[in-house]
Structure 1
Amino acid sequence: MQKIPVSVVVMTKNEERNIAKCLKALVEFDEVFVVDSNSTDATCAMATALGARVSNFQWNGKYPKKKQWCLEQLPFSHPVVLYVDADEEMTPALAAEIRDVLPRFAAGAGGAFVPFDYVFCGKKLEHGHRVYKLALLARDQSRFLDYDDLDVAHMWEVEGHYQPQVQGETFALRQRMVHNDHDSLFHYFDKHNRYSDWEANLRTKGLMNDPREANVGARALLKRIFQALPFKAPISFLHSYVFKLGFLDGKAGYDYAVARAMYYWQIRIKTEELQKARLAQEDTQADTVAGAAK
């Protein structure tokens, strides 16, 4: 059978534990780019050996960040692009569905949301909170927005947790990608510590939930409602563990719900820390101005 006419982008940095499984699962796709950020391990050599086209991305500390740079700079052969993280694995069922929905892109669709199965603490979770990412894009109709986030001290060159802006219809796929990070839990919590820094920074600036981000169905409304609620940490735990039946996944379901709640707890206290620092800075500036006026 002819390969799927989609250009795949896999972004990496020191992903030798994940990259082989990721790329081997993408063999049905016609074109696979690995865009690396100065890895010091065997990531690039492994990717080249597996047939990927490897490019290096050297971030200059400005926009565009990595995903948008890929849209602008990579020599794609196809109008539809699929973003895959190195710790994500394609399934045959999802690949077949992507092939089947390509006529919708030819008719003007802008993007498709991909649902995820999550492997946590070695167990594939069948229940609980489910992530959807707008990962299948019409490249000429898509853009990753430039958030005011260059001052986030511990963030990096990849865009944060938000969906791109697209022109045209968006829809959700039924088949799932598998998120299965073979790195340690230290790596997981380190990433989410950085993500919570990023989100706290944007909350302090009032920049969360940009209406230009693409969403499907009622997700945009539900996200706005959740972001406006107090006590997000316990609410997120109850949502994942109780309402979404995470308890049926046993200990791993509980641990995942706790980890998700802890993420929102981090965001809250970091937001409060930033707000206090901003108020203190404003008070200092006001005192300086008042002193100069005397």
Structure 2
Amino acid sequence: MIPVSVLVMTRDERAVIARCLNSAAAFDEVIVVDSASTDGTQEIAAAAGARVVAYAWNGRYPKKHEWSVAQAGARHPWQLHLDADEEITPALAEEVARLMAAGPRCAGYFITGRPIWQGHRLRFGTPNRKLVLFDSRRVHYPHPDDLAPGVSWEMEMHYQPMVDGPVGRLRQPMLHHLEKPVAALVRRHLFYARWEAHVRLNGERARLDRSDRPLRRRLKAVLREAPLTPWLVAAVDLVGRLGVLDGPPGWQRARLRIAYYRWIGRLVRRARRRGLSGQSAGAPTGREPAGADATTASAPSTPRP
């Protein structure tokens, strides 16, 4: 067995949790950190042999991943944190096993997530990398100012944990199943856009990017202020990274990414015109940025992961 504790974050994930847990079968310990699921997620997890730990957010820090590092009672210092819609590939499990057998040279590792969009595996386009495999003794999570109404959520958002030591990247990917209805994905991205606008306006984004390499930090700082960023993202995604070769599923994913960056820009510009703080900009207004489908005009303030 691989001497790593796998921690899976859940809240009403009946449809996907079994696949995630099955993919972690080679690991010595699997813990499901659950937020009061009512759809049978806890029972499915327990039947699969996972240990279920209850998490209840009090609206303050620590949020779910940080709390899990310290409070879930993991057997191993090395932890792999997953969302329930993610899947460990056999090749990734083998790579982690070799890494642990040889002795990790880094304190944490990024893993690339390859999307499965509405059942179609996307082989091109911009990958998503997350720092989810780490030595829990050498990691801490930042506490950005994001507890305001309209942007607050129990999970850490779009930032990485801070690692005390070198950081590497694994070659093999995990799979990220984006199977929820497109309307639900749009609602989720509207919420993400509100959060991102909030941390940009209150100056937190630069601090959250400190774990990036210097060149990447500078590039992201420039792109945050560039009005053509949504279209640059599209060009990189579809042309530079050949996302166009994924056909309609790839185009649909790229379209959502374009909309996400457009919403962020519009929220930031609107807040600046009105002289609002980041907190005010992030609060729900009843009128989301143009581009949202009529069926998804109001993003929930506390979406489910």
TM-score for the superposition, normalised by structure 2: 0.86
**Equivalent residues, number:** 278
**Which stretches of structure 1, 4 residues or more, deviate above 6 A after TM superposition?**
none
Specify the SS of the correspondent of 2:207.
coil
1:213-252 matches, within 5 Å, as 213-215=210-212, 218-252=215-249
1:181-196 matches, within 5 Å, as 181-196=178-193
Deviations 1:223-280 (A, max 9, x none): 3343343322111111101111111111111111111010101111122233344449
User: Quick check: 1:172–1:216 contact (8 Å CA) kept in 2?
Assistant: no
| Aligned equivalent of 1:291 | none
Specify the SS of the correspondent of 1:209.
helix
* In structure 2, distance between residues paired with 1:66 and 1:200: 22
User: Quick check: 2:2–2:100 contact (8 Å CA) kept in 1?
Assistant: no
TM-score for the superposition, normalised by structure 1: 0.89
* In structure 2, distance between residues paired with 1:106 and 1:122: 34
Residue number among 148, 155, 159 corresponding to 2:156 in the alignment: 159
Q: Percent identity?
A: 37
| Aligned equivalent of 2:125 | 128
TM-align CA RMSD: 2.0
| Aligned equivalent of 1:78 | 76
1:279–1:7 distance in 2 versus 1, CA, 3 Å:
closer
Greater shift, 186-195 or 71-80, is seen at: 186-195
Structure 1: stretches of 5+ with no match in the other structure: 282-294
1:249–1:151 distance in 2 versus 1, CA, 3 Å:
same
Following superposition, the deviation at residue 202 of structure 1 comes to 0.5
Greater shift, 138-147 or 119-128, is seen at: 119-128
User: Quick check: 1:35–1:55 contact (8 Å CA) kept in 2?
Assistant: yes
1:1-294 matches, within 5 Å, as 3-102=1-100, 106-107=104-105, 109-210=106-207, 213-215=210-212, 218-279=215-276
| Aligned equivalent of 1:287 | none
1:232–1:78 distance in 2 versus 1, CA, 3 Å:
same
Structure 2: stretches of 5+ with no match in the other structure: 279-305
* In structure 2, distance between residues paired with 1:186 and 1:268: 21
* In structure 2, distance between residues paired with 1:130 and 1:218: 18
User: Quick check: 1:115–1:177 contact (8 Å CA) kept in 2?
Assistant: yes
* In structure 2, distance between residues paired with 1:204 and 1:254: 30
